[in-house]
Chain A
């Protein structure tokens, strides 16, 4: 486990994407920039004209942007939370997937927050939330918890990056100044290793409650209101579970693309997809439990304001997204993931794409049906997104993918030192640990 000797042996392939920026990479960047450029055009149109260019109206004052905000912040639970849980549980299979997960967290938070800014009528006044902060607003709780989360997960991404950045500092002639900063004077001494291990463990413990608080607080933006179907105590845990659910799906999709694009089939192995698939199956069952609880209690109580929204979802204008959500979040993933035979790379990827669609629909069917059914006998609202909202949604996805791709071109997306540590120490430690469970006689 010596820090930075230049020969990486069979792990050399992990550095390849960083050292060689091929044609495929530039082509991907070009396509993503096109989508982002179009989104920027749409955004400038919105800035000039006002939010009138969206589909928002009368009582339906939140739509795609807030849906995307909740969705992206949900995805961000992929990394930090899951990687922290796996680290703390000493799950040895985590080694080659943690970084791919942690990068999702940090990158996607920017687009979550970005969607709130897109949604503001006066984005240039956004800093009023600091100058005129009112702590009684759940939106301010969001500002606090998300910025804490962004800070925490950036540190948590950076710490395990240090030894790999040191390898690049010593190996890569270009951008040496950059890697020197990230590597923070890493020499790979035993003392440094000890401090690093310590720091990573401490950060893993710190980010867990922060991650849980983040999506709880996002749910409270809705739950703290007195609107029917939003004002619900189940929302906190429901949102956290949904976030982990969509987060796992995001990791699986990212891993599948990485292993194909960078030929890392030997590092991101079927077993990783199999284990993550099982985790996702558990979350799918949790999700179904929550959705039944939420709707059954509302239905049984049968308050008119609740029932208007309930029927809107079951048989009304939102029946299509609602039932599509049930199929994509429950029927498809459970059918695929409950059988070992279909819990393959391809199987888990299909289930993951289905879950991402379903979780986006879930956010949508939380935000909009309540708003189109105000309490008073006011004319009912309606909502259809405009081309601007759809373009900006596309732009956010493209922007996130671009940030992710750039990261994989600057750093090895599979942690080199952690994989080596697994080989050199992990195998022995695990054998010893298993032996310690057994009777000695």
Chain B
């Protein structure tokens, strides 16, 4: 069984935020607004964190880090959910059941990567955009938690296609929207357990690192640190 994972090369990331926009369009994430931004309630499954590394030292510089859900193999959010509305599926994807979520936000508290977003309001789109919603993705309702799913609706679609054609799913066939859009080719996606996949090859690099690894969450997003 595959174990889906992502590799993000920080040397290549230009901080263009194409991934953020692609993710919003793909996953029916409501548009942000100045009001939401001011309230700090913008929903974004993919965020490009920018912060100063090595502040006050000669090596000080601006760091950019795209941050999707880490899809932990030992997800702290799943442990604390009282109703099983967030769970880890057999292929390692951490998923949400929006119609079961009671909105207690305990999972959001226990996520060390702060990737969970809460629907403080009923999501709304301009009328013109409502016709453009992605039919493969459930829109959320007010009062529930949501987060990056590694676009797992795409996995279902690609797997159906492959099955119809009677062939196995090829490496790089199923990729999330953020990976597909990345102009700098900073992101790759695939089966971490397949020794021939691009992600498992890149994952062997001496630059490979995972975020807050010492917490034992075993994230499946691998970062290649900057060389220069």
Taking beta carbons and an 8 Å cutoff, which residues of A are in contact with B?
49-52, 56-59, 61-62, 116, 119-123, 125-126, 128-129, 131-134, 136-140, 143, 221, 224-227, 371, 374-379, 381-382
B162–chain A nearest beta-carbon distance, Å: 33
Contacts of A374 in B (CB 8 A): 112, 114
* Contact A225-B105, Cβ < 8 Å, known A52-B120, A129-B82, A376-B49: no
Residue interface bits B102-122, CB-to-A below 8 A is 1, else 0: 111110111011100011111
A contact residues around B141 at 8 Å (CB)? 122
With a cutoff of 8 Å between Cβ atoms, the chain B residues found around residue A134 in the complex are 81-84
Instruction: How many A-B residue pairs have C-beta atoms within 8 angstroms? Tell me.
Output: 136
Do B112 and A226 touch across chains, with their CB atoms under 8 A apart? Answer: yes
Contact B102 A126 (CB under 8 A): yes
What's the nearest-Cβ distance from chain B to residue A64, in Å?
Answer: 14
Q: Which of B39, B106, B144 is close to A57, meaning CB atoms less than 8 Å apart?
A: B39
B112 A50 Cβ-Cβ under 8 A: no
Measured CA separation A379–B104 after assembly (Å): 23
CB-contacts of B190-228 with A (<8 A):
211-212, 215
Q: A57-B39, A377-B51 are in contact. Are A137 and B106 (CB under 8 A)?
A: yes
What is the interface of chain A mostly: helix, strand, loop, or mixed? loop
B80 touches A224 (CB 8 A): yes
Q: Which residues of B contact A139 (CB under 8 A)?
A: 80, 82, 104, 106
A226: B residues at CB distance < 8 A: 76, 110, 112, 215
Q: Known contacts A50-B119, A58-B41; decide if A138 and B105 are in contact (CB<8 Å).
A: no
Interface bin, chain B: 35 or more
Given A129-B102, A377-B49, A377-B51, check contact A49 B121 (CB 8 Å). Answer: yes
Who on chain B is nearest to A59 by CB?
Answer: B114
Q: B120 to A56, Cβ gap below 8 A? A: yes
Known contacts A51-B120, A52-B121, A58-B41; is-contact A121 B142 (Cβ 8 Å) = yes
Cα distance, A317 to B87, chains bound together (Å): 36
A125 touches B100 (CB 8 A): yes
- Looking at chain B's contact residues, the main secondary structure is loop
Partner of A128, one of B51, B102, B108: B102
Question: Which partner residue on chain A sits nearest B116 by CB separation?
Answer: A61
A225–B82 contact, CB under 8 A?
no
Residues of A within 8 A of B83 (CB): 125, 128-129, 131-134
Q: B108–A50 contact, CB under 8 A?
A: no
Min distance, Cβ B104 to any Cβ of chain A, angstroms: 6
Give chain B residues whose Cβ lies under 8 Å from the Cβ of A58.
40-42, 114
Question: Do B118 and A121 touch (CB < 8 A)?
Answer: yes
A8 to chain B, nearest CB (A): 50
CB pair A375 B76 closer than 8 Å: no
Q: Contacts A57-B39, A137-B106, A139-B106; is A50 near B143 (CB within 8 Å)?
A: yes
Whether B61 sits at the interface, judged by CB under 8 Å, is no
Known: A125-B100, A226-B215, A379-B40. 11 other contacts (CB 8 A): A51-B103, A57-B120, A59-B114, A120-B102, A120-B103, A128-B100, A133-B83, A136-B79, A136-B80, A137-B106, A224-B79
- Does B147 have its Cβ within 8 Å of any Cβ on chain A? no
Q: Judge whether B120 and A376 touch: CB under 8 Å.
A: no
Q: Is the CB of A61 within 8 A of B105?
A: yes
Q: List 7 A-B contacts (CB under 8 A).
A: A52-B120, A56-B120, A62-B105, A119-B105, A121-B143, A122-B103, A227-B110
